[in-house]
Amino acid sequence: MPRDQELKNTVTAQDINDFDPEIAECCTADNFRIHLAGSPGEPWNKSAARVLVNNFLETHEEYEAQDDTIRAMVIKKCEAAVGSTIRKYKWKKKHRTKDSRALARENKNRAERKRTVRTQDVFLCAPDDQLIVHLQLFHRRRDLTFLYPALRPQREKLDLLGVAGMSSDEEEKVGTMKQWRILLPRWRSMRVTGWLRYFDAIYDKTRNEGGAHDSRGQLPRHRASARRTSQSKKYVPRLPRNAYRKTWLNSLVDVDNVVRPTANVQWTHDPVITEYVCS
């Protein structure tokens, strides 16, 4: 077998079903195939060992093909070779799977560390009130994806938005009271805003029910309904196209190379979440 093919399983389930050892061998010397996903003792691989034996004896004239001792030795060696190749294939496949899983975990942890480090660096470089609001809001929403299984699929989209994708607050006085008016990013679509509101509704509901986030600690500032749009020119690039306001995108030149939007996604929640919020 060619070295670059000896660990590729080219025998399909249909091949196994169609194979009848009483009609013909499973393969030929020119198209030699071992069922690497099977066992050495199964009919296909027994047949493959016989093909290997016959080919060896035909191409090595120095051996006596009719000598039972020689033939028995060749059969033993060929069967051992088939079994060894199968074990090698399964060992490599098992460890390749383990390695890929370990690599995926390592990449995920690395991405998480980078995200945390970037957040800390930004915080240390510019510890202003708005940044603190963005950080608190982002992590408060993200933490919920670990508490509620139905929110877990939303974590990836939250991470895409990141801290910079959160809304800002503008302080204003109402009589003797102080509240904060939400300033929506002018680039962000309202469908994303509606999607994010569910996180805040769940957070408030959980606190009121005395769940994981009970009344201990500092309560979040009261945010009035959104009536204004932030004038900041900063935006988050490489988000799904429908995460951006159409009017904002249309006001730009060369959107594909500047903003680099990706394919649209669904900004919706599991019905379990919507039912919980509305109950």
Residue 30: C-alpha distances to residues 1, 18, 20, 52 (Å)? 9, 20, 19, 11
- Residue 47 near residue 20 (C-beta atoms within 8 A): no
Residues 50-71, buried b or exposed e (16+ Cβ, 10 A)?
A: bbbbbebbeeeeeeeeeeeeee
Annotated domain spans of the chain: 1-125, 127-278
Which distant-in-sequence residues (6+ apart) come within 8 Å of 222 by Cβ?
Answer: 179, 180
Q: Amino acid identity, residue 24?
A: A
pLDDT in tens, 87-144: 888 887 776 655 556 666 666 665 554 454 444 444 444 445 566 667 888 888 999 9
Instruction: Return the higher-pLDDT residue of 104 and 271.
Output: 271
pLDDT in tens, 24-76: 999 998 888 888 888 888 999 999 999 988 888 888 776 655 567 777 788 88
Q: What global pTM score does this model have?
A: 0.50
Q: Is the dihedral of CA 214, 219, 223, 229 positive or negative?
A: negative
What single-letter DSSP state applies at residue 9?
-
